[in-house]
Amino acid sequence: MSSVDVSTGVSADVLVEVTDLTVGFGSLRAVDGLSFTLEKGAALGLVGESGSGKSTVASALLGLHRGTGADVGGSVRVAGIDVQEASDADLGRLRGGKAAMVFQDPLSSLDPYYAIGDQIAEVYRVHARVSRRAARARAVDVLDRVGIPDALRRSRSRPHEFSGGMRQRALIAMALACEPELLIADEPTTALDVTVQAQILDLLHTLREETGLGLLLVTHDVGVAAESVDEILVMRHGRAVEHGPVGTVLGAPAETYTQDLLGAVPRVDARRVRSEGSSGSSPEASSAAPEVVLEATGLRREFGRGKRAFAAVDDVSLTVHRGETLGIVGESGSGKTTLGRMLVGLLKPTAGEIKPGGGVRPDVQMVFQDPVSSLNPRRSVGESIADPLRARGERDEGRIRARVRELLERVGLEGAHYDRYPHEFSGGQRQRVGIARALAADPRVIVCDEPVSALDVTTQAQVVALLGELQRELGLALVFVAHDLAVVRQVSDRVAVMRRGRIVEQGPADEVYDSPQDPYTKELLAAVPALDPEVAAQRRAVRRELATA
């Protein structure tokens, strides 16, 4: 039986207690009457779509809304501290001392001018009155603890000298420097490859086992939650929809919204369901030889000169057929994006050939990963979509506007959106604008470079469904470049697996996924998060054995 703090009436085992939390920004109620508890050493996942309020809750636990003009109500207690009533000094001691936060983007959380070790040491000195030498020693110790090889030497490196996964480990090390009781991880693996993601999740699990750390994991990825937490709280529009043990919520969800959320999650073990009436045909599904719309032979692309030259793509050959989807999968640095840019004509091959023709061809268009950076914020979305039309020689503004309105409606937006600007759209809507712009050139092939990686699962499913619908109606061929193996299987007829610039395995999607031949493909598939917590635990144990073998 747990003891109770007489002054607060709260169990001594409770690390976080949130009661009727509300957070408002003007007329917007981001969090609306949320309550939950987290015990010491336990792990809770806050799961929901973008805009559900989960990151706002995470910030409220550390009082980060103080001074921002946000209207915060209800009660928040963390490690015995009343966050709402705490003085600025008490909040300073809470942040980093008793509770620490790891953010989604480590680059924006780390100072680019200072060595990683110095930044960790400074955090430690803020909370512990120790010498600079002792603080530096502590920084090396926690870097070693999170698996940074040669920690003493690497502590002198700056953030740009670390890979994405290494930077995230460094942020976790910084969070651990003062031995907090609570770690708040806000989308800590969103930008990481599947194998690196698995390593970070395994690290968090190990730290919990070794230190008794409490974990609040904020994520839109249900699979990541299944790998990492004991309980799940599903959020929508600032409210709790469902809350319970991870196995119960994911295995037998009681609420319709949770069921829909799980239904939108792509499964790496599920074969693609192809709609009837498709205007295209995959090579393995048709007895007639399918029309080749794009062919690449012996592609090579080098960067740098002399001794520093390296091949990002090395001797890659592939064909793309009318109406099919060719998935290209691999980790960061595998060469898949460089390959995609060569197929479109944005990069010229150092060697090899792409048929038909060369240069930026109007019959091959691209949908980019980040629609924010690929759309000019100072121009309306209609004008951006109109660019390919004008590039082809269209001068009649009436016909241009009519065609753009038609394309906007075709991708599920409104023709009246022509004069709106990118910041007025959600992430999923901006990606639809990017698809409309690609369609404006009447392409035969669209290369999609990580087109859904920044979207939550339901928006992701909507964009994938739109691409499939356009493919069937227009006979488009798609080259789908992504590091998410589950999404690639969901959309692809054939798959090519890339590693270090080369294709190590390719073939029909079901064959590659069900019977992978290359060890690297097997490694990638083994790292994909499982929705079943028991399967996730088994995979984690296997990865641990391999790591220590």
The beta strands (E) that lie in 154-282 are given as 182-186, 214-219, 231-236, 239-245
Instruction: Provide the phi-psi class of 69: left if phi over 0, else alpha when psi is between -120 and 50, else beta.
Output: left
**Percent of the chain whose pLDDT exceeds 70:** 92
CATH second-level architecture of 280-363+443-518? Answer: 3-Layer(aba) Sandwich (3.40)
Q: Which two tokens stand for residue 375?
A: 């759309």
Confidence category of residue 11, pLDDT binned at 50, 70, 90: low
Q: How many helices (H) and strands (E) does the chain have?
A: 21, 21
Q: N- to C-terminal Cα distance for the chain? A: 41
pLDDT of residue 6: 46
Q: What rounded mean pLDDT belongs to the chain?
A: 86
Domain 1-98+181-265+531-549 has CATH 3.40.640.10: no
The residue whose two tokens read 């073990």 is: 269
pLDDT of residue 270: 78
List the one residue out of 541, 365, 336 whose CA is nearest residue 450: 336
Higher pLDDT among residues 355 and 56, named by residue: 56
CB neighbourhood size of 287 (10 A): 5
In CATH terms, are 1-98+181-265+531-549 and 280-363+443-518 the same topology? yes
Domain spans, the chain: 1-98+181-265+531-549, 104-179, 280-363+443-518, 375-442
3-state secondary structure (DSSP) of residue 446: strand
* Confidence check: pLDDT of 360 > 60: no
Compute φ and ψ for 97, nearest 5 degrees.
-85, -60
The residue whose two tokens read 């001074």 is: 67
* Confidence check: pLDDT of 412 > 60: yes
From residue 60, alpha-carbon distances to 24, 53, 66, 174, 260 in Å are: 11, 11, 9, 20, 28
pLDDT digits (tens, 9 = 90+) for 245-277: 999 999 899 999 999 888 888 888 877 766 544
